[in-house]
Amino acid sequence: MIWERSKILNINNEIVEAQAPIIISASRATDIPAFYGNNFIESLKKGYTIWKNPFNGKEIYVSFQNTRVFVFWTKNPKSLIPYLDFLNEKNYNYYFQFTLNDYDKTLEKYIPPHQDRIETFIELSQKIGKEKVIWRFDPYILTKEIGVEELLNKTENIASEISNYTEKLVFSFADISSYNKVKRNMRNIDYREFSECEMFEIAEGLQKIGKSYNIEISSCSEEIELEKFGISHNKCIDDKLLLKLFPEDKLLSDFLLQNKNLKDKGQRKNCGCIASKDIGTYNTCTHGCVYCYANSSLKI
């Protein structure tokens, strides 16, 4: 996506060129709400941030002057919640992709206790509305200790606690073999890839959970077709959802309705997301999840 360009005054009193995106992802590369909420707010007050291209190291200015919506990706947004009033005052739109798995420290080394994160999920939902807090169980991982039945039990246990505080569950199957750095980080984990049969077992179980708890179920960046189980391919950054959540934002609505092909070409082939500008930095998340593709090493 080629975003509009603008001129901004940086902290050195230099006039520089910046991207001015309408939709910002915060972030696929790191957990901004968990670790960098204060920096994020300070950047908003300043009017711009600096993003470093992970491939060539080039720094790019990103202006917030046209920004209408932030999509937050997080496993623990507790420290960002107090800042949401500032976002509201500045008339920014936002929603959360909240990953709430139930793994032990073997897979998620430094994540806060499971029950604490459930309480944070509920707190966030009560503050901003359940339609703006999308639950992710991401990814499903098979290990020597965790099979299909265990994964479904974990999912249902969480659903029983948060079903009144979300409308949607998004999941994915771990694709470990596709990422060398993930294989390296998981070399001491006795894992295996999902078979198609096991994917169907998960989908059938999720269909039952969705019906029991009135939660819509979608898959993230998966090639396999699961529509016979009532499971659609998700758009995590979703034009239809944005129009539904923020119908009165004319700038956002005009952008979404006037651009016919908004698919984010920078994402994986099976990703359904529309274009956004990600402002995160790889290798800066300290949750210590061994399956994470955003960290080259567990030593951050």
165-187 pLDDT tens trace: 999 999 999 988 888 889 999 99
Span 221-275, pLDDT tens digits: 999 999 999 999 999 999 999 999 999 999 999 999 999 889 999 999 999 999 9
Per-residue model confidence (pLDDT) at position 295: 84
Could you report the per-residue pLDDT of 112-154, keeping only the tens digit for each? 999 999 999 999 999 999 999 999 999 999 999 999 999 999 9
pLDDT digits 0-9 by tens, 56-114: 999 999 999 999 999 999 999 999 999 999 999 999 999 999 999 999 999 999 999 99
Query: What's the CA gap between 61 and 83, in Å, rounded?
Result: 23
Q: Is the model's pLDDT at 298 over the cut of 70? A: no
Instruction: Classify strands 168-173 and 133-140 as parallel, antiparallel or unpaired.
Output: parallel
Report DSSP state, residue 97. Answer: E
Task: State the DSSP H helix or E strand holding residue 254, giving kind and residue range, or none if neither.
Answer: helix 250-258
Axis-axis angle for helices 148-162, 196-213 (nearest 10) = 20
- The fold for domain 5-278 equals TIM Barrel (3.20.20)
d(CA 59, CA 217): 38
pLDDT, tens digit, for every residue of 200-223?
A: 999 999 999 999 999 999 999 999
CB 237 within 8 A of CB 276: yes
pLDDT band for position 290 (50/70/90)? Answer: very high
Instruction: Give me the phi and psi of 132, to 5 degrees please.
Output: -100, 5
Per-residue pLDDT at 299 exceeds 80: no
- DSSP assignment of 213-232: HT-EEEESS--S--GGGT-E
Q: For residues 78-91, b (16+ Cβ closer than 10 Å) or e, as one string?
A: bebeebbeebeeee
Task: Kindly list the domain boundaries of the chain, sorted by start residue.
Answer: 5-278
User: Which pLDDT band holds residue 294 (cuts at 50, 70, 90)?
Assistant: confident
Backbone angles phi, psi at 258, to 5 degrees: -90, -15
Which residue, 299, 230, 233, 231, is CA-closest to 267?
Answer: 233
Give the residue among 274, 246, 235, 236 at the shortest CA–CA distance from 88.
246
